[in-house]
Structure 1
Amino acid sequence: MTQPAQPAQSRPVRHGSPIDTDGPRVALYSEEFASDPHRVYREMRERYGSIVPVELAPGIAATLVVDYRTALRILHDPEHFPADSRVWQKDIAPDCPVLPLLEWRPIPTRNSGPLHERYRKAMVAGLDGVDLLALHTTVGQIAGPLINSFCEDGHADMVGQYAFPLAFAMINAMLGCPPEIGQRAAAGMAAMFDGVNAAEGGAMVAAAMSDLVSLKRADPSDDVVTRILQHPVGLDDEEMQQQILSVFGAGIEPLSNLIVNTLRLMLTDERFAAGVLGGSLSTRDALDEVLFVDPPLTNYGVTFPRQPVLIDDIWLPAHQPVVISFAACNSDPAINTGEYTDNRSHLAFSAGPHTCPARSVAYLIAQDAVDQLLDALPEIQLAVAGDELTWRPGPFNRSLESLPVAFPETPPLPVF
């Protein structure tokens, strides 16, 4: 077994708090970070070790964990690292761009103990009821018309014309959500993830969720929302709205990013593109590599210690955000071998009690979405140089502004 990397001899052991650190913090919201986060992660590890002082937004201090084993220790210890942010948010301005994603809500990811168990039971029951075979059919029904909308043009943007509308439609289908309500929720979630007009985005999502809960109470069906509503834990309207919001938040943006990042890998990496065309590598292999290297949520798994905790010779202060860098931990030299095929040890879906319960659903949708596109347009290629692609800035997401592609003009697919 690979042994953990030893701290560099030139790096002194620090016993202070990363919140009170001297010198500038690493700004996770900057365009510079978004353009090359892997370089920044390497520099973080060389300078600070496993615990890094960062800013999530201007003036919003946090601690970023970039060591794989340290991340697992924290993610599996909700007693010392609970997810409840209520004490922290008392001192945060209402217009803080990251507040909508970090503030306390009655959902599994922002609670520990009995409340976490209550909310997670309902959420898992809602998602476990999804018929994966039927879901496979639904992906095809949604992907076909989307591909037909641009296949005769010979060019398209895979973000705006394919991945995002597909993820949007799939989450709506699973939830039994009408498109109009889903559209409002998706626009609000995009604002929350980007940290731009986040408060307005949060209000937009809340209103959409309220309308959806009212609709499903009046007209239940075989969908995720109805199953959560009917669960024996008996969630009230506010709790229901928040559960659905968390499905949208963990579904549309990250799922769209996963599809796009996988396509980018397959279209820009000659090693991988050759493998796919030659049949030696599968779309699932591409997905696994993306989940290691460019996971759709790069930094999350946020916790707020109840009291100061000593981790790796660093005191983490009480009630301040500790953020797990899934991307940096996945590339930790102590565990990363560069082999991604059939390797599921990444942290892209988090770990411990807050592991994403929709892992199988996400894999299926993303894989089918990519396969549908490549089957329909086998000669598809990137329309610009890979280094011309622009990444959206944001402390939590790994998402492209656009993914322009070109292909021979192709007749529409038959749609059944």
Structure 2
Amino acid sequence: MPSLPTGPVRARLFDPEFAADPARTYARLREYGDVVPVELAPGVPATLIIGYTAALEVLRDPVTFPKDPRRWEKRVSRDCPVLPLMMYRPNCMYTDGNVHARLRQVVTDGLVSVDPNVLRDHVENSAEALIREFRSAGEADLLGQFARPLPLMVFSQALGCPPDLSERLAAHYKGIFDGVDAKRANAGLTRGVAELIALKRQNPEHDLASRILAHPAGLSDEEALHQVLLLMGAGAEPEQNLIANTLRLMLTSDQVAGDVWGGNLLIEDALDELLWTDPPIANFAFTYPERDVEFRGVLLPADQPVVISFAAANTDPSTASGNRVGNRAHLAWGGGPHACPAKRPAQLIATVAIERLLDSLPGMEPAVPAAELEWRTGPFHRALTALPVRFPPVFGGTGDAHRARSGR
């Protein structure tokens, strides 16, 4: 039986080559099976699960594959670039059992309390405000000028977070995902959310952060801080990449673009096509076996991270089908007891944002060939550095000609 600590590293997920063409890496890794040794950062080994059914097994078995990373943390440097994203926090992502159930209930109840009609209005107003800034120019970077700031604006409103603070937090989240000065970014992130918690303790309002603090579970300030950190993290990096990457797909795939503009494909279905083929969080859902585990003929060492490759699992040849429209069995939202609780608001934000953009800027096209788009390095995300487009300049109000694309 092969043992991962002595086996060769099959891929370094922090290399620029991986960021440029992860599909090629996943295809090569399939030669070694569903369970492969990788490095998340220099000298940080992990096991990557790339098979669809194997990923489901791990996601659905929190006893064998628990989420608490504290034993692993003792083995890595404090300056490890992936530590801030993988380190223990008292939130529902890094806990199991009764603790997880209590913390997750707070998050779930908070999200359920967000009125989808109010959320839709927030998204539409934010999108239109951003579009007004560049629609007369005839060109824009849809990542920097639209996809990145929009989720921040929406989640800031939902959480009751002041705009200047939310901008600082977004910059810190980017630093953590990129692994660039991640230790400093993590410290800044923690300080910023602590400011928000203190503000809401003193002046509670009708917002998500205040409802988390007032929940019957009675969270401590530290627990509340880390639930808000989790929600803001989900609303920053993954959401901006979901919007930007779906727009890239619609702009560079003739079939997808034709189906959307022709009314044969709803924006929700375009989102799911992206989530199948190129999910914005490609490798995540860390677990840490407490003892050596034999899994699919491979010995997984105790306390070494086991990471789910949503991107590789979703493109596992065993999942291939001729038509995926309406098929939402992909793993981009995770699975098992730790499946993403923010799925519905995340989908709504992305759908409405893309709808408003397409309504407002007819004739939009890529400003550079698809092959020239650049991707940020990092083991976890699938993230563009920019998405430049051009379009006929628009002067005046936004239009509603294509609202039917989203089924409205």
TM over 0.5: yes
CA contact (8 A) 1:151 1:412 kept: no
- Counterparts in 2 of 1:115-134, with a 5 A limit? 115-134=99-118
Residue of structure 1 equivalent to 2:156 = 172
Give the 3-state SS of the residue equivalent to 1:77 in structure 2. coil
Q: Which amino acid aligns with 1:19?
A: P
The residue number in structure 2 matching 1:343 is: 327
Letter in 2 for 1:396: F
Amino acid at match of 1:244: V
Q: Is the 8 A contact 2:49 2:306 kept in 1?
A: yes
Corresponding residue for 1:27? Answer: 12
Letter of the 1:294 partner, please give it: D
Using the TM superposition, name which of 111-120 and 298-307 deviates more: 111-120
Please say if 1:56 is aligned against 2:40. yes
Q: Deviations over 1:132-153 (max 9, x none)?
A: 0111111111011100100010
Question: In the alignment, does 2:139 pair up with 1:155?
Answer: yes
For residues 77-129 of structure 1, the C-alpha deviation after alignment (integer angstroms, 9 at most, x for no partner) is: 10110000000000111111100111111011111111111111111111111
Q: CA separation of 1:77/1:229 partners in 2, compared to 1, >3 Å: closer, same or farther?
A: same
Offset, 1:414: 6.2
Match of 1:296 among 261, 272, 280: 280
Q: Is the 8 A contact 1:144 1:413 kept in 2?
A: no
Conserved in 2, the CA contact under 8 Å of 1:126 and 1:223? Answer: no
Shift of residue 232 of structure 1? 1.3
The residue number in structure 1 matching 2:252 is 268
Alignment partner, residue 68 of structure 1: 52
The residue identity in structure 1 corresponding to 2:20 is S
- Other-structure match for 1:43: 28
Q: State the SS of the aligned residue for 2:319.
A: coil
Letter in 2 for 1:44: L
Q: Which residues of structure 1 form unaligned runs of 5+?
A: 1-14
Q: Counterpart in 2 of 1:253? A: 237
Paired AA for residue 225 in structure 2: Q
Match of 1:410 among 391, 394, 399: 394
Taking the aligned partners of 2:153 and 2:396, their CA distance within structure 1 comes to: 20
TM-superposed deviation, 1:338 = 4.6
Report the Cα offset of residue 292 of structure 1. Answer: 0.7
The Cα offsets for residues 233-277 of structure 1, whole Å up to 9 and x where unpaired, read as 111111111111111111111000000001001000011111111
Give runs of ≥4 in structure 1 deviating > 3 Å: none
1:71-220 equivalent positions in 2, closer than 5 A: 71-220=55-204
Contact conserved, 1:174 with 1:223, CA < 8 A, in 2? yes
Q: CA deviation at 1:336?
A: 2.4
8 Å CA contact 1:81–1:304 kept in 2: the answer is yes
TM-score, normalization by structure 2: 0.96
SS at match of 1:149: helix
Q: C-alpha displacement at 1:179, in angstroms?
A: 0.7
- Output the CA distance in 1 between the equivalents of 2:338 and 2:267: 27
Is the contact between residue 380 and residue 407 of structure 1 (CA under 8 Å) also seen in structure 2?
yes
- Equivalent-residue separation in structure 2 for 1:339 and 1:97 (angstroms): 40
In 2, Cα distance between equivalents of 1:231 and 1:96:
35
Equivalent in the alignment of 2:4: 18
Q: Please give the secondary structure, in 2, of the residue aligned with 1:280.
A: coil
| Contact 1:108/1:119, CA 8 A, preserved across alignment | yes
TM-score by length of 1: 0.94
> Contact between 2:127 and 2:353, CA under 8 Å: does it hold in 1?
yes
Contact 2:360 2:398 in 1 (8 A): no
- Alpha-carbon distance in 1 for matches of 2:396, 2:18: 40
Deviation by residue 1:309-346 (Cα, 9 ceiling, x = unmatched): 11110111111100000000001111221532101101
* 2: CA distance, partners of 1:340 / 1:383: 29
1:18 aligns to what SS in structure 2?
Answer: coil
Q: Paired residue for 1:226?
A: 210
Counterparts of 1:241 and 1:180, CA distance in 2: 18
**Alignment match, 2:362:** 378
Equivalent residue for 1:5? none
